[in-house]
Amino acid sequence: MTIAYVSPIPHAAQSRFRRWQQRHAARNFSVVGRNRRASLSMKQGEAAGPPSPTSTPTTDQIFAKNAGRDLFFNALDEAKAISLLDAELGSLSAADDRFIAAERLKFFPTATAADAIIRFVRRFDTSKLDSYVLEDRVARRKAVESLARHKGVHHRSRVLELLFSCLSDPDPYMVEVAIWALAEVDAQDERALQSVTSVLSADSRVAKRVAIHTLLRANHTPALPALRQFVDDNDLATASAARAACSVLASDEEAMQPVIQFLRSPVLNVRRAAIEDITLSRYVPALDAICKCPNSLVLRARTARVLLEKGLRGDTRAEQSLDEETARLVDHLIWDNPVHLDLLGMTKDTRKARAPDRNIRQLYKNDALEAYLACRTLVEDFRGNENDHIGSQLLKSYNDLGYFDYFGAYHVYKTLGWLKYAPAYSFLLENATNLPPRFFNHQAGAITALAELGNGDAIDTLIEVGKKSDIWELKYACLISSERLGDSGRLREAFKSDADWLIRSRAKCGLDFSHLDG
């Protein structure tokens, strides 16, 4: 069972990581587009395994294949990272560097790196944790996370001993990391699972989701009584995880029914939790709600694909075709028009709320709900050639950033398309073709935005991108956009023999894309 990993490192530390990346971008990172520095997300799928020779690689597997190469920078090799960990605590002039060093070592699954991490974590006196600088305490957590990425291949007994000791650590965030790490190193012995169950039941400081997911990953059915205590927890993210665990461990699909309603929570983290838990439980009745949920396309598409695999393919891998109802649903998912999303009934009714400056800023919000609502508002008020100044203002806001905004870029691309801002053609075409693979969702956004501009010159490029890509979302976006721009069926014909059953089935489906109008 694969669980989408959400880093237990606190948000403040992640923010420091991003600031560090921006400071060092010119020296260490590849540029994106027109010399924009990549503001890199720490929530990735590196743990996804390689595809089997007979199966189509999943988006997560393709993403994982490229993540290390995109993130790695030559200035910090294994020896340098270890030297930073070994430096005297509190002594570094740029304390964030120790955090980065700990993070880098996940790319070096060697006995030397594992030994250095264990040595670093053991240097702290846990009875005096508050006496250490915050950056070193956060680096300590990150070091344990990186150690878990090595899967316990080296010094396994020492690794397990370290993780067990961390379960009683005075730092609750470290306890969460240790719980997750036990699952990563596949520690399924009774001692480990009983320890995790005890933390779940007794330690009120620790967020419950990571413990619940660890017990689920281990298929630890003896934990069911403890898990059932949390299905109606006041914290909906915890309740969602508990319901997913009970659904899988007790084969009780009905336990997941309330989780669909969690997708309509105004709280971003609750919606994210529900998406993750629907993925874990492969709860097919949630497909429609997932496709319309106001969270990022990359999360919704990943979950939708899992549910489609179960609902339409099962475990047989036999050839099947998409029915028109399902095809329409997936079309709308990839087309991603905020008009078709469930924005929880939210509207903007005042002049201040509808001000273009305000809504352009909100396109860069981390909560996709706010960004989609801002996009819809801008399009309602300014769609069309007579309002080109809004498109110009939006494009300027993006270019003025000086770095690649992971959250905002996608919504900027899409909004430029919905506004039908023709001068953005070259900009969108560049991002439809030149973004690194790890930004495939942004690339899909640029591709579908091009379709709204109506410039048929993009067709040949989109066909080429679609044929070369291994990522189903990109293939699907290219199929939609090329046909809406006037492709006479060249890409559809090519996709009828595609290796991906979903792309192949959609190409063979007789439904065109006119239903996306409006």
Q: Output the pLDDT for position 314.
A: 53
Higher pLDDT, 335 or 517: 335
Contact between residue 510 and residue 331 where contact means Cβ atoms under 8 Å apart: no
Q: Rounded mean pLDDT of 87-106?
A: 84
- Mean pLDDT value of segment 166-182: 94
Q: Please report whether residue 265 resides in a domain.
A: no
> 2 pLDDT exceeds 50?
no
Integer Cα distance of 217 and 214 in angstroms: 5
User: Given this model, what pLDDT does residue 385 score?
Assistant: 73
On whether the CB atoms of residues 344 and 383 are closer than 8 A, the answer is: no
Q: Is residue 289 part of a domain?
A: no
Is pLDDT of 295 > 90?
yes
Q: Assign 56 a pLDDT band (cuts: 50, 70, 90).
A: low
- Interacting residues of 266 by C-beta distance below 8 A, sequence separation 6+: 344, 369
* CA dihedral sign, ordered 21, 23, 27, 30: positive
DSSP string of 117-155, one letter each residue: HHHHHHTS-GGGGGGS-HHHHHHHHHHHHHHHHTTT-SS
Residue 499 has pLDDT above 80, yes or no: yes
**Residue 477 CA to its chain's centroid (Å):** 19
pLDDT at 390 over 50: yes
Give whichever of 33-47, 187-201, 425-439 has the largest mean pLDDT.
425-439
Residue 55: what pLDDT? 53
- Residue 257's SS3 state is helix
Q: How far apart are CA 58 and CA 81, in angstroms?
A: 32
Q: Tell me the average pLDDT across 174-194.
A: 89
CA distances to 147, 168, 210, 463 from 176, rounded to whole Å, are: 14, 10, 6, 46
Total number of domains in the chain: 2
- Counting residues of the chain whose pLDDT is more than 70, the rounded percentage is 83
Entry pTM = 0.81
CATH number of residue 474's parent domain = 1.25.10.10
| 257 domain residue, yes or no | no
CATH of the domain at 94: 1.25.10
Residue 437: predicted pLDDT: 87
* Residue positions counted in the chain: 518
DSSP 48: P
Domain residue limits at 364 = 341-516
Of 308-317, 392-401, 434-443, where does mean pLDDT reach its minimum? Answer: 308-317
Percentage of the chain exceeding pLDDT 90? 73
pLDDT of amino acid 369: 98
pLDDT (tens digit, 9 = 90+) per residue, 324-382?
999 999 999 999 999 999 999 999 999 999 999 999 999 999 999 999 999 999 999 99
- Residue 279 in domain: no
Q: Please give the mean pLDDT across all residues of the chain.
A: 86
Average pLDDT over residues 502-517: 95
Angle CA(474)–CA(476)–CA(480) in degrees, nearest 5? 115
The answer to whether residue 282 sits within a structural domain is no
Q: Are strands 403-404 and 31-32 parallel, antiparallel or unpaired?
A: unpaired
Last residue of a domain, one of 144, 160, 187: 187
Assess whether pLDDT exceeds 50 at residue 15.
no
CA-based nearest residue to 404, from 70, 58, 66: 70
- pLDDT for 97 equals 84
Which one-letter amino acid corresponds to residue 208?
Answer: K
Element (H, E) at 399: helix 388-399
Which pLDDT band holds residue 386 (cuts at 50, 70, 90)? confident
Domain contains 347 = yes
What pLDDT is stored for residue 95 in this prediction? 60
pLDDT value of residue 59: 52
Rounded average pLDDT over 249-256? 95
Among the three residues 155, 187, 219, which one is the final residue of a domain in this structure?
187
Distance CA 56, CA 54 (A): 7
- Whether 38 shows a pLDDT value over 50: the answer reads no
Q: Report which of residues 390 and 75 the model is more confident about.
A: 390
pLDDT score recorded for residue 32:
25
For the CA atoms of 22, 24, 30, 36, what is the dihedral angle to 10 degrees? Answer: 30
Residue 145 has pLDDT above 70, yes or no: yes
Q: What is the pLDDT of residues 391-425, one digit of tens each?
A: 999 999 999 998 899 999 999 999 999 999 999 99
Run of H or E residues at 38: strand 36-38
Contacts 24+ apart (CB under 8 A), 198-206: 199/167, 199/175, 200/226, 200/227, 201/226, 201/229, 203/172, 203/175, 205/172, 205/175, 206/172, 206/175, 206/176, 206/179
Considering only CA atoms, which of 397, 240, 269, 281 is closest in space to residue 2? 281
Could you say which of 187, 207, 239 is where a domain stops? Answer: 187
On whether residue 481 sits in a domain, the answer given is yes
pLDDT tens by residue, 111-136: 999 999 999 999 999 999 999 999 99
Residue at 229 is within a domain? no
For range 161-184, the mean pLDDT: 93
